[in-house]
C-alpha cells in the first residue's frame, strides 16, 4: 500500500482545502478497499451532502474526513443539519478518517468507523457563524472521536504501519451485530458499555469493575433509573453476539486482544 499523498495531482488548485481533497480522494480510490467485502471503491458525483465513495458490489457508502497532524478528540464535519439528516437515514455512510504529515504528506493513520457507531449524540453542534461572516448563521458540527469505542475504529494504517487486509476485514465483521439495533437509545447504551470496557484497559474484568461506571452512565442516560440492570443487560447482548465471553463468577473476557483494536 502506498502511504503518501501525491501533491502533483493538485498543482492546478490554489486553495489548500481543494488540494487536500483532490489528493486524499485520489489516494482512497487507488489504495483503499471496501471494509465489508474487500472490493474496489468508486467515487460519487461531487457535492453530495455526506457520502464520497461507494462499493458497487455490496452498496456500502463512505464519507472521508482528513486533516494534518493529530486526529485529536474531534473532527470537523460540515453542516450540522445535513450530517444529522444523513446519519439518521437508512443509507447513512461509514466514515473514513485520515491524518497525514503536513511536510511530506505521509499517511499517519487511516481508519474506518462503521455507520452503526455514528449516532446523533457523538455529533457536536457548533455555534452559528457571526453576522459578519460570509456565511452568517451557518451551523457546523464536529464528530466526537473520543466517544467512539476502540472496536469502532478499524485501522488500515495505524501509526504509519499498514494493517494486513484480512485483519481489517475480520475486525469489521466482529461488530456487525450492532446493525440489528435500530433504535438510537439502544445503540447509545451498548456503545456506552463498550466505552466503559475500553476505559478499564484490560481483557478480563468483573461485574463489580464495570459497576464503578454507574455514576458516569447515569449522567449519560438520565432517564434510566436502573443502571445496574441495564449494565447486565448490555453485557448479555455483547456476550450473546461473541464480543465478550462469560468466564464464571461474574467475570467476563473480551474475545479479542486489546492489541488488535
pLDDT digits (tens, 9 = 90+) for 111-164: 999 999 998 889 999 998 888 888 888 999 999 999 999 999 999 999 999 999
Domain range 184-260, its CATH number among 3.30.70.360, 1.10.10.10, 3.40.50.720, 3.40.50.11030: 1.10.10.10
How are beta strands 107-113 and 140-144 bridged, if at all? unpaired
User: Which CATH topology does 7-163 take?
Assistant: PvuII Endonuclease; Chain A (3.40.210)
- What does the pLDDT read at residue 134? 80
Domain locations along the chain? 7-163, 184-260
Helix (H) or strand (E) holding 41: strand 41-43
Q: Are 97 and 85 within 8 A, CB to CB? A: no
- Residue given cell 473514513 in the structure block: 96
Residue 220: strand pairing partners: none
Domain pair 7-163 / 184-260, same fold = no
DSSP-derived letter for residue 259 is G
Question: Residues of 164-202 as b/e, b for ≥16 C-beta within 10 angstroms?
Answer: eeeebbebbebbebbeebeeeeebbbbbbbbbbbbeeee
Lowest mean per-residue pLDDT among 81-85, 86-90, 182-186, 227-231: 182-186
Q: With 60 as the cut, is the pLDDT of residue 15 above it?
A: yes
C-alpha 83/C-alpha 149 separation (Å) is: 20
Amino acid at each position: 500500500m502506498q502511504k503518501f499523498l501525491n501533491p502533483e495531482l493538485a498543482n492546478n488548485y490554489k486553495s489548500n482545502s481543494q488540494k487536500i481533497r483532490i489528493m486524499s480522494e485520489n489516494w482512497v480510490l487507488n489504495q483503499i478497499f471496501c471494509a465489508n467485502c474487500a472490493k474496489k471503491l468508486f467515487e460519487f458525483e461531487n457535492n453530495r451532502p455526506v457520502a464520497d465513495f461507494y462499493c458497487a458490489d455490496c452498496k456500502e457508502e463512505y464519507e472521508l474526513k482528513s486533516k494534518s497532524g493529530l486526529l485529536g478528540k474531534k473532527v470537523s464535519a460540515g453542516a450540522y443539519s445535513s450530517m444529522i439528516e444523513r446519519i439518521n437515514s437508512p443509507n447513512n455512510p461509514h466514515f473514513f478518517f485520515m491524518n497525514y504529515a503536513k511536510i511530506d504528506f505521509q499517511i499517519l493513520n487511516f481508519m474506518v468507523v462503521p455507520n452503526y457507531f455514528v449516532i446523533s449524540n457523538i455529533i457536536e453542534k457548533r455555534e452559528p457563524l457571526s453576522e459578519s461572516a460570509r456565511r452568517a448563521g451557518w451551523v457546523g458540527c464536529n464528530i466526537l472521536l473520543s466517544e467512539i469505542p476502540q472496536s469502532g475504529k478499524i485501522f488500515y494504517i495505524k501509526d504509519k504501519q499498514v494493517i494486513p487486509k484480512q485483519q481489517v476485514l475480520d475486525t469489521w465483521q466482529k461488530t456487525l451485530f450492532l446493525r440489528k439495533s435500530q433504535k438510537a437509545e439502544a445503540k447509545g447504551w451498548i456503545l456506552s458499555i463498550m466505552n466503559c470496557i475500553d476505559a478499564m484497559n484490560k481483557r478480563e474484568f468483573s461485574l463489580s469493575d464495570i459497576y464503578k461506571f454507574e455514576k458516569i452512565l447515569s449522567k449519560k442516560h438520565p432517564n434510566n433509573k436502573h443502571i445496574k440492570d441495564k449494565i447486565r443487560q448490555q453485557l448479555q447482548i455483547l456476550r450473546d453476539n461473541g464480543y465478550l465471553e462469560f468466564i464464571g463468577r461474574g467475570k467476563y473476557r473480551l474475545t479479542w486482544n486489546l492489541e488488535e483494536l
